Amino acid sequence: MKKIFISILIMLSAVAAISAQEVPSPYVSGEVAPVTDKQVTEYIIDYMKTPAEVKADLPAVLDLWAPWCGPCRRLSPIIDELAKEYAGRVAFYKVNVDDNQMTAMAFHAQSIPMLVFIPADGQLGAIQGLQSKETLTKIIDEYLLGK
């Protein structure tokens, strides 16, 4: 299990000026909320600080993806299902790496899909590539929820 996690070191980077919008809230609806670089740093995790400052109220999963990515498209329905199953306990967000390159760079996304796991406290974790629902459920339960 530990082999599938990649330890993430957060590097300082500059955030492009993007108009501020409030982050969509997936907490109650159980939906995956699309977010921008600016929304990630303001409402989920501020990777500009060292160490990174978690701002989300719940543990979170960031799905780094792109519309042209086949494995990303195959992972999307799995993430949608998990968002519904974990509604109110884990927040799920999608970051289009083509439009939000600062977040992709901050998390050292060298291939996609890449999921970043943000616990309420503790070290970030990440996994790259297409994963099964069972694998992701186990990671969420053990790593984010401590079951």
Tens-digit pLDDT profile for residues 21-39: 444 555 556 889 999 999 9
Catalytic site residue from 45, 72, 124, 126: 72
d(CA 15, CA 86): 30
The pLDDT, as a whole number, for residue 28 is 53
Catalytic site residue from 33, 69, 97, 144: 69
Is there a catalytic annotation at residue 69?
Answer: yes
Q: What pTM was computed for the model? A: 0.79
Region 81-106: mean pLDDT is: 95
d(CA 147, CA 141): 5
Is there a catalytic annotation at residue 100?
Answer: no
